[in-house]
């Protein structure tokens, strides 16, 4: 065991973690971030995606001990009126919802880096995320709408 400090959705705490303990498990146990889900457990599905300083990380592959001092964002830390979440709901990109937090966090990363992604860029960015319900079309629509919404907001700001 060792002590590390994590800031999760703005809440900073010192916690004890096992040497090999996964970030996924620590986030769920210590911070109650139940939007962070294990799908495959081997880095192949994207359901466990969180952002560390704005960059996506598969928390099922990440050893928590390596993230001492990190700033972590998860889907359940997003505001109630989060634009990406609202567009996912509006587009019906939810179905069972198990994979959606990972897609939402990947979308935040994408739009942070590339405010006007093409269809192809959206597809490429989300290549590592799997939705067993197959709502890919709705997800792509939601991401396109979120990008447009931000462009309109920027123009009117």
CB 54 within 8 A of CB 105: no
User: CA dist 40 to 15, 28, 59, 98, Å?
Assistant: 26, 16, 11, 12
- Does residue 137 sit in helix, strand or coil? helix
Q: Does 27 bind ligand FES (CB under 6 A)?
A: no
- Interface mask (CB under 6 A) for ligand FES, residues 108-147, using x and -? -----------------------xxx-x------------
Number of residues that bind ligand FES (CB under 6 A): 22
- Interface mask (CB under 6 A) for ligand FES, residues 29-58, using x and -? ---------xxxx-xxxxxx---------x
Name the residue nearer to ligand FES (CB basis): 127 or 155. 127
Residue 122 belongs to what H/E stretch? helix 119-125
Q: Does 97 bind ligand FES (CB under 6 A)?
A: yes
Name the residue nearer to ligand FES (CB basis): 20 or 154. 20
Phi, psi torsion values for 23, nearest 5 degrees? -55, -40
Q: Does 71 bind ligand FES (CB under 6 A)?
A: no
**Minimum distance from residue 107 beta carbon to ligand FES (Å):** 14
Phi, psi torsion values for 33, nearest 5 degrees? -85, 80
CB 95 within 8 A of CB 133: yes
Q: Kindly list the residues in this chain that would bind ligand FES in the complex (CB under 6 A).
A: 38-41, 43-48, 58, 60, 95-100, 131-133, 135
């Amino acid at each position: 065991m060792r002590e590390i400090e994590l800031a999760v959705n703005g809440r900073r705490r010192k916690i004890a973690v096992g040497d090999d303990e996964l970030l996924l498990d620590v986030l769920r146990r210590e911070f109650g971030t139940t939007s962070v889900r294990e799908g495959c457990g081997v880095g192949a599905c994207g359901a466990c995606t969180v952002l560390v300083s704005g960059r996506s990380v598969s928390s099922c592959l990440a050893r928590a001990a390596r993230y001492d001092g990190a700033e972590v964002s998860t889907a359940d830390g997003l505001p109630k009126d989060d634009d990406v979440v609202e567009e996912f709901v509006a587009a019906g990109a939810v179905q069972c919802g198990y994979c959606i937090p990972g897609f939402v966090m990947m979308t935040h990363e994408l739009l942070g880096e590339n405010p006007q992604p093409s269809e192809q860029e959206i597809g490429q960015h989300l290549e590592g995320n799997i939705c067993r319900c197959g709502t890919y079309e709705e997800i792509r629509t939601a991401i396109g709408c979120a990008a447009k919404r931000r462009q309109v907001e920027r123009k009117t700001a």
